[in-house]
């Protein structure tokens, strides 16, 4: 079993979501204990994670024997099987894992997961759907919304800003958004400075209240 250092994470349910989380954690240098009840999936992941075990995560005794209670962080990627998802989160909470991240497929599913002990609930499909809607309807090239009504977007610079310095464009006063980064054609992103001149064809990273960022991307 992997050591239980602060960088180690247990990932339960190695489907599309849990698998992607586990893969990225390994790439980021973390040790990952993967658990799945499906023998074929365990086989597929055996040489990609630190340890992979075939077990039913709703079985409290099995989880204890694997030492899951010694991990400070767990990710539950079981989504479609509601009962298994809820019972797994409950099991982890009962054995004392403090940081439980769990995937939900509906709002009510998410509420249940929170109430049985998930500290973080993720809605991959609806969050990605919302993000894609922003990308296909506006001029946004990328978009991230935080749950406190704050967003960051990557947008083509508006016509009104071209040829002027960021200080002169007064985008903050006019639109309520702050330019945090700017990408000139063929160059890397750089921090925005008041004296930076906006050339034609450049890309801005803007931050602000969700509604203001949306308005800026739609109307400029």
Specify the residue, 82 or 202, whose C-beta has the smaller distance to ligand ADP. 82
Q: Which of 156, 172, 169, 159 is nearest to 197 (CA)?
A: 169
From the number of C-beta atoms within 10 Å of its C-beta (0-12, 13-18, 19+), residue 81 rates as: middle
**Could you give the CA distance from residue 2 to residue 32 in angstroms, rounded to a whole number?**
7
For residue 117, the minimal CB distance to ligand ADP (Å) is 16
Q: Among 34, 77, 110, 138, which residue sits at the site for ligand ADP (rule: CB under 6 A)?
A: 77
Q: Which of 163, 159, 127, 164 is nearest to 143 (CA)?
A: 127
**Could you give the CA distance from residue 195 to residue 209 in angstroms, rounded to a whole number?**
24
Per-residue interface string for the shown chain with ligand ADP, residues 161-200, x marking contact by CB under 6 A:
----------------------------------------
The piece of 30-38, 139-147, 176-184, 188-196 that touches ligand ADP (CB under 6 A) is: 30-38
Specify the residue, 84 or 90, whose C-beta has the smaller distance to ligand ADP. 84
**Could you give the CA distance from residue 190 to residue 205 in angstroms, rounded to a whole number?**
10
Is residue 38 a contact point for ligand ADP (CB under 6 A)?
A: yes
Specify the residue, 51 or 183, whose C-beta has the smaller distance to ligand ADP. 51
- Give the footprint of ligand ADP on residues 87-106 (CB under 6 A): 88
């Amino acid at each position: 079993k992997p050591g239980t250092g602060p960088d180690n994470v247990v990932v339960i349910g190695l489907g599309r979501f849990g698998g992607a989380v586990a893969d990225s954690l390994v790439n980021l240098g973390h040790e990952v204990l993967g658990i799945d009840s499906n023998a074929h999936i365990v086989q597929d992941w055996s040489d990609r994670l630190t340890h992979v075990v075939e077990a039913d995560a709703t079985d409290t005794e099995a989880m204890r024997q694997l030492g899951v209670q010694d991990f400070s962080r767990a990710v539950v990627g079981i989504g479609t099987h509601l009962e298994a998802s809820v019972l797994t989160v409950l099991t982890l909470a009962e054995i004392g894992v403090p940081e439980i991240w769990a995937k939900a497929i509906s709002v009510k599913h998410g509420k249940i997961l929170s109430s049985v002990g998930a500290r973080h609930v993720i809605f991959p499909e609806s969050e990605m759907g919302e993000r894609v809607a922003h990308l296909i309807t506006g001029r946004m090239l990328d978009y991230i919304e935080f749950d406190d009504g704050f967003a960051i977007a990557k947008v083509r610079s508006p016509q009104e800003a071209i040829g002027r310095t960021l200080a002169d464009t007064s985008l903050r006063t006019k639109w309520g958004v702050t330019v945090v980064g700017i990408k000139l054609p063929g160059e890397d992103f750089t921090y925005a400075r008041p004296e930076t001149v906006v050339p034609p064809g450049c890309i801005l990273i803007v931050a602000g209240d969700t509604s203001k960022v949306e308005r800026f991307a739609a109307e400029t």
